Every structure is written in structure tokens, then in C-alpha cells.
Chains A and B, each alone.
Chain A
Amino acid sequence: MNLIELFFESLGTLTLNKTRTGLAILGIVIGIGSVIALVSLGQASQQAVQSRIESLGSNLLTVEPGAMRQEGGVRGAAGGRTSLTWDDAKEIASSAQITTISKVSPELSRRAQVITGSNNTNTQVVGATSTYADVHKITMSSGRFISNRDVEGITKVVVVGPQVVSDLFGDGANPVGQTVRINSQVLVIVGVTESKGGTGFMNQDDVIYVPLSTAQKQLFGANYLSSIALEAKNSDVMVEAQDQVGYLLLARHRLTDPSTADFSIMSQQDILNMASSTTGTFTALLSGIAAISLLVGGIGIMNIMLVTVTERTREIGLRKALGAKKKIIIEQFLTEAVILTFSGGIIGVILGIITSYFLSGVVGVGFVLSLSAIILAFFVSVGIGIVFGWYPAQKAANLQPIEALRYE
């Protein structure tokens, strides 16, 4: 029998018992589809977590007033420290000793009541320069961020986060051009930032930005900074950058002993560590999910193939009694298994992709397709299907015809 004839013969046999064929295909579809959906969903979650961590800013160093660790004495409130100045920040940006820092963002941040018409909200007010957006990866959904001209001209403009927009103006409103009042000053909204996610205390959207000069002189009457954010040139020079900035500031503050420093420098190393351990956990989790779903899917396929082919032992006996050679019987059952598993496999892949698309929408993470999961699921399932279609068939074909015919 040639291949084409064999293919159509097998197709004919498969259509004879539609329920059995349908169940076998369904088993394979579920096996493959669930692996693809689960792994894709897992990878999408992983990417969502990673991108949220990365959105905090990369290669970030933060200089804050006050020592990181003081033995004895009383620690004042963070806002009460006044040792960092804008000049410190300017010096870090311009000094020839500092070779590892690419961006400097001086910041003064306080909580304040923001009022507009009848609404008001208590939120974080950040005095920032134009570099803030670069360092902290702020992107705009409308309008613009604080510019250098705003900082130089001490203009009364404000950029608001999406949470503040919905608190003050309602969801989806575009408040650019409207005004808000902070500490009796009227400021014009010039931009709205893109959402960065986060909830509750960690909400990165519940914030408003004003020019640093405006914050110091008009709003809070303070000539110091609450922090300086620094971006290192790359992640390899973080430690060196920490040292360079540390020595510069010690010299500027006329301190000789690093243990008496009136500032502290924290690197983003902690966050990076967190990110990499998170990624590790996810990778382990994903491998687990993939392994379990492959196992479950594989056992399902194994079962259905074993049952459907074993059920046909009598048929194999009859075919042998009528003069079929072993080779022909095995060819026929192999062809049937290939048709079953490939059609089930293709449907499973399509269904898996559709399911992961909808699931990612429901869960609220981006749609990610894992090509490796698709390939792995497809070939493992097809392999299992073919092996467990072939195995009982060859076992039955090895029996004496009458033994196979008597099989119950």
C-alpha cells in the first residue's frame, strides 16, 4: 500500500468511530493547550513583574541626608535633615573627579494637600528638575514634564500622576491647562504622567511634580534637598560611583572620617538582587508548571491512546486472520496515531494561543507567547501519542490471530 492510500484508509477508519476519534483528539488538544496557556501566562506575569521593577529606574544611586547607621544619639526624622543642598548636586554633576555618573536629579519631596475646586487630596509633592524624568523613567501620557526653563524661571507649573488626576478630576479626564492650589499657591497643570503601577503605600502614580526651584522657594521655603538621585553609567561601576560621590560629599561637607558622614548613599543593588531572585523564582515556577502540565497532558494522551488501540485488539486479530501482515497493521495504526496526534496537536496549539490571549487579558498582564512551550508541548504530546498508539498495536499484532480475536 502506498503512503497516500494508507493515509486515506486510516482517515476512513478514524471517521468510522467519531466518538472515539473525537475523544482522542480532545485529550491531545487539552494536553497541549493547557501547557501552552499556563506557560505563556506564567511568562507574561514574569515579564510584567520584571518591567515593573525596571521601571523604578536602572543603575540608580540615591543620596539621602543623615547617616545610614548611627550608634547612639537620636535619629531625627528624615524630613528634618538639611545637610544636602542643590549645590552638592550641581557639584556632583560638574566635578572632574566624578567619572561614573551620567545623570543627577536633585529632589525635594514632601507630602502636601493639593486642592482644586471642591476636591482635594493629600499626595506626595516632588520638586524636580528635567533630569528627574530620565532617571526615574517617567513617561508622559499628555502634556510635558518639568523643563529647565521652569526650574530657572521658578514657574508655577505642575505635572500630575494619573492617580492624582482621578482623585481630583475623575477617571479619564485631561486636566492639562487647569489649575491646582498647593500651600496657597496656584499652579497650572502642564502634563500628566503615564501610569507606572503599584498600589497603596507603594503607589508610584499618586504623586505630583513641580519645578525644584518652585518647591524650595514658593511652596516649602526650604533651601535643602530631601534626596539626590544619581544614575551610574552602567551597572558595573555602581560601587565605584558610590565611592566617588561619597568622597566628594565628605570633602564638600568638610568631614574627614566617613563614619561621621551626614549623608548616606544607597545603591539600587538591593532592588537588582530582588529582581534577579524574583526572576529565579519565576523560572522555577514556570518549569514546574510546564513539567506538571506536560505530565498531566501526557498521561491523558497515553490513556486515551492505550484505551482506544487496546479496544481494537479484536479488530487487529481479524485483520491478521484475513491475511494482513504485521507490518501493514502497524503501519495502519501508526498512520492513525500520527493523524490523530498531529490534528489534535495543531488544534491544541491554536486553542492554547487563544486561551493564553484571553487569560492574559483577564489577569491583566501583557500577551506573551512562549515559542519554546509550543514546540515542547507539541512534540512531547505527539511523541507520547504515537508511542502509545504504536505500542498496544504492535503488542496485539504479535498475538496469534485467534488470541487477539478472543481478547475481551
Chain B
Amino acid sequence: MIKIKNISKIYQTGLVETIALSHVSFEIKKGEYVAIMGPSGSGKSTLMHILGILDTPTSGEYFLDGQKVSQLTEDEAAEVRNHKSGFIFQAFNLLPRTTALNNVILPMRYAGISKEERVERAKKYLKMVGLDDRLEHTSNQLSGGQQQRVAIARALVMNPAILLADEPTGNIASVQAEEIMKIFQDLNTQGHTIIMITHEADIAHYAKRIIHLKDGKIVVDKLNGKQRKT
């Protein structure tokens, strides 16, 4: 499903070159559950952004379902972001001054889904993350954990084949983190591919496969023998 070959990302700031990713290659098959770990600055988020087509690699190739991503038009890339992948940002990135409900509705609006269905589905997913009593709260009226969960509902609402989560439990108490991991596990059993970044080993152990990054390179890529279940 996902195949990257020799992906590098180099940031040029003035005369200084920062290498975020250096010749990273791997393949992720449909239905896999991958945790990406590594110290800060190891290129985890950059890799995630490239996988979500939010950023372009400096060199290397990325095939998504056999399609070369660099050959996608702007609008095709938007389609993929809208339908195929759901992205959970580390910084939530909710629309300011906008209600939880409208935040979750947003991707459906771009998919051209009818008004009634949008509201219904948004409510369903907000209920799933336990926020059915916070529908009309705006982002700044929600706690960090609640914002995180709105962001998760927003990423799931289009029922994407691939879920890309950048520290999905970073701002959540462990009880709630377990609930989120339960959702991920259910999605994975239904056949969704999940890739998540985490720095917590116990969260990573919910995944079937763990990739360790360091200085923009893969240092460990192994199957998780002792996968945790919720």
C-alpha cells in the first residue's frame, strides 16, 4: 500500500543544510499497524508529513497504492488527503473560534457530503471519542485532551484507509489514551492501516510493527512480538 524508496528531506536555511530524513526506504502493507519511535529531531514528523502528502521529499520516491505521489496533480493530492488518509496533528490544528462539531464537519464539506449526513457523522465520531456533550464548544473552550480527541474524530470522520497519527496520546491522561488505543485497534481489525508516532514505549507496543528513527535514518524496523491488547 505504502512504498517509499530512498526518501530524503533536506531543509535549507540560509547556508545551513539540515538533513531531516536520509535515504529512508520501507514498505507498509494494507492493514498494518506501525509505530514510529525516535528521539526528537529524528525526522519522525517529517516522515509523517511526507506520508500524508502534506510535504514533498527533496529526493526519493513515494508510491501510494502503486501510484507515484510526485506525479499527482494538486487536486488529486487534495483528494487523497481528503479521502484516503486521515491526519492527526501533534498540535491538534483545530480551526480557532470554531465549534467541535464544525471542526469535524470540515473535511466532509470538502468531500461534498450532504449537510444532514455531515452533522450525523460528525456527532457519531465525536461520541466515539467521548465528546458528545461538547459539540458546541469552540476550540479555546476545550482542554488539550479534548482538543486532541476532536482532532482524532476529524481524522476518522472520512473513514480513511490510512490513519496517520502524530503523537495521538501526547496530551491525554492514560485512561483516555487507552480508549484512543482501543479505537485504533478496532479500526485496525476492520482493515485500516495505522501509522502513529509516539515516544512512549507502552503506547508503541499496541502496534504490530515498530520502526525506530535516529538522525533521519531507520535504525530498527521489527515486528512487535508482544503486541499489547486493550
Contact = CB atoms under 8 A, between A and B. Distances in A.
Nearest to B56: A400
A323 B111 contact: yes
A405 B107 CA distance: 16
Contact of A325 (B54, B56, B75): B75
A325 B74 contact: yes
Report whether over half of chain A's contact residues are helix, strand or loop; otherwise say mixed: helix
B97 A402 contact: no
Contact of A400 (B55, B95, B109, B110): B55
A323 B74 contact: no
Which range holds the interface residue count of chain A?
A: 20 to 34
Interface in A22-66: none
A8 to B, nearest CB: 11
Contacts of B52: 321
B49 A323 contact: no
B78 A324 contact: yes
A321 B93 contact: yes
B30 interface: no
A323 B54 contact: no
B97 A325 contact: no
Interface stretch (B58-66, B79-87, B204-212): B79-87
A16 B138 CA distance: 10
Contact of A322 (B55, B75, B107, B112): B107
B164 to A, nearest CB: 11
A177 B180 CA distance: 102
B54 A402 contact: yes
Nearest to A9: B109
Contacts of B82: 322-324
Nearest to B111: A323
A32 B154 CA distance: 42
B110 A325 contact: yes
Interface string B66-96: 0000000011001111110001010001011
Contact of A17 (B80, B97, B107): B97
Contact of B55 (A314, A318, A324, A402): A402
Contacts of A319: 106, 110
A180 B109 CA distance: 89
Nearest to A16: B97
A324 B74 CA distance: 10
Contact of B81 (A16, A320, A405): A320
Interface string A10-26: 00000011000000000
A400 to B, nearest CB: 5
A401 B97 contact: no
Contacts of A314: 93
B98 interface: yes
A19 to B, nearest CB: 11
Contacts of A323: 78-83, 107, 110-111, 158
B80 to A, nearest CB: 8
Interface string A317-336: 01111111111100000000
Contacts of B110: 319, 322-325, 328
A403 B74 CA distance: 15
Nearest to B45: A402
A367 B96 CA distance: 47
Contacts of B111: 323
Nearest to B107: A322
Nearest to B48: A402
Contacts of A326: 74-75, 78
Contacts of A16: 96-98
Contacts of B106: 319, 322
A322 B107 CA distance: 5
Given A400-B54, A402-B49, 20 more contacts: A1-B112, A16-B96, A17-B96, A315-B96, A321-B52, A321-B54, A321-B87, A321-B89, A322-B81, A322-B87, A323-B78, A323-B82, A324-B82, A324-B110, A325-B78, A325-B110, A326-B75, A328-B110, A402-B54, A403-B55
Pairs of residues from A and B, 4 with the lowest C-beta to C-beta distance, nearest first: A323-B82, A402-B54, A401-B54, A322-B107
